[in-house]
Amino acid sequence: MPHSSETFLPPLIDPLTGEEAVFIYQPNVQATQGSSSRPSSPTYGSWEMTDLLVKQYSPLFHAAANVPSFIRAFSTLTNLRHLKISCPNQEPGQHYRRDVVDYALISLRIAVERSNLPLLDTLSLNSIHPGALLYLNPLMGFGSRPNSIKKWRQIRKLAIHMDSVPYTSPPFDHLLLMHSYLQIFAASITKFVFRWHGPKSLCPLSLDKEICLQERSPERACPQRCHLALRPLKFERLRDMEVENIIVDASLISSFITAHRHTLRDFKYEDTQLQSGTWDQALAPLTRISGSEKWKEKTEEVMDVPLVLSPAGLEDIQVKKMMANTLTCKTRIMRPSIGAWQRAGARSRELFWGTPEHMKKFLRTSIFSWR
């Protein structure tokens, strides 16, 4: 569900006073008895607020906030194994503003928590905005219950691709939301993949040690709690980990590897920038764990080398005709026997195939214009 002009929610205006009306959302999980009958209780807290929302907000909002319909849909997906959530295209200036997509995420989360999904073990959050974690968090989200976290601890594989958030200046609320959200899966996941979309930002696995999150800041949503230290992330079953497009200290990578050395088997730091230290310092725990530096001998550097050979300046019909003539000519040439080929020496094979210079001359003077 991408962000667009249709998902934008303008301020609610009181028609009597002309001032902005305050809307405190409380999800309504009770289904109405019939579509034609008037509900016994207001959908949005009070009859006045319900009437105001019906008149000023589009039907898309009311569909997103219709929690019972989400529950009915997920109750039929008993064999669901992999849940993918994608809500791209949010403008950076809208990170602190709620829209229709956020209400849909609330309804979706409640539906998952109240449905029987015994096989669900994989969660992919693709192209999500930073504020989405607030509405997907079963501990602090709207409509949460004490046992809401139980359903999400079924997840074994977690992938998050999130829009980048700034880390050089406050507020850091979205980074704190990320840390709180990952705490939910610390005891269950075995595979974790994370990537920032846009500029590099801090590593989500070591936010508790970042200096910018340890300093007091009155610009946080809860300044009274800013002096409380974040609880470190310790993944009890993590085996595979991959993070991409991050900036991190070498010491934090070293600490993470050391803390998870008993379970971690494969880890990747893609497009990672070290803001202090070196990679030898970051990967020093591997030497202590293995007892030697033989693991460095297995390091491989891989790069993509483009190779393009295609005729230029010819139409498809001409190319097909030339290829057909080439295949016809090949069928008329007798292939050398295996025995004769084995008896041929290096000089004979060179004469048969031609040298590299001969091949270059052939490509330059052939009927095709190769590039």
Instruction: Please give, one letter per residue, the 3-state secondary structure of 246-294.
Output: EEEEHHHHHHHHHHCCCCCCEEEEEEEEEEECCHHHHCHHHHHHHCCCH
Minimal CA–CA distance to 232: which of 213, 249, 247, 248? Answer: 213
pLDDT at 224 over 80: no
For residues 202 and 245, what is the distance between their CA atoms, to the nearest angstrom?
A: 9
Sign of CA dihedral 180, 110, 106, 129: positive
For residues 282 and 276, what is the distance between their CA atoms, to the nearest angstrom?
A: 10
Mean pLDDT on 51-76: 94
Tokens of 248: 């991190």
CB atoms within 10 A of CB 272: 17
pLDDT digits (tens, 9 = 90+) for 238-257: 999 999 999 999 999 999 99
Least trusted range by pLDDT, from 170-174, 316-320, 362-366: 362-366
DSSP-derived 3-state class of residue 321? helix
For residues 215 and 181, what is the distance between their CA atoms, to the nearest angstrom?
A: 21
Look at residue 291 in the predicted model and tell me its pLDDT. 75
Whether residue 199 has a cis bond before it, omega within 30° of 0: no
- The number of CA neighbours under 13 Å toward the Cβ of 203 is 31
Backbone phi, then psi, for 6, in 5-degree steps? -75, -25
DSSP-derived 3-state class of residue 316? helix
For residues 303 and 94, what is the distance between their CA atoms, to the nearest angstrom?
A: 38
CA geometry: angle at 206 spanning 202 and 209, to 5°?
100
Look at residue 357 in the predicted model and tell me its pLDDT. 64
pLDDT at 284 over 70: yes
Look at residue 138 in the predicted model and tell me its pLDDT. 92
338 exposure class (CB count in 10 Å sphere: 0-12, 13-18, 19+): exposed
pLDDT digits (tens, 9 = 90+) for 94-137: 888 899 999 999 999 999 999 999 999 999 999 899 999 999 99
DSSP state of 131: T
Look at residue 92 in the predicted model and tell me its pLDDT. 84
pLDDT at 309 over 50: yes
Least trusted range by pLDDT, from 263-272, 303-312, 345-354: 345-354
| Per-chain mean pLDDT for the chain | 82
pLDDT at 371 over 50: no
Q: Which residues pair with 195 in a beta bridge?
A: 161, 244
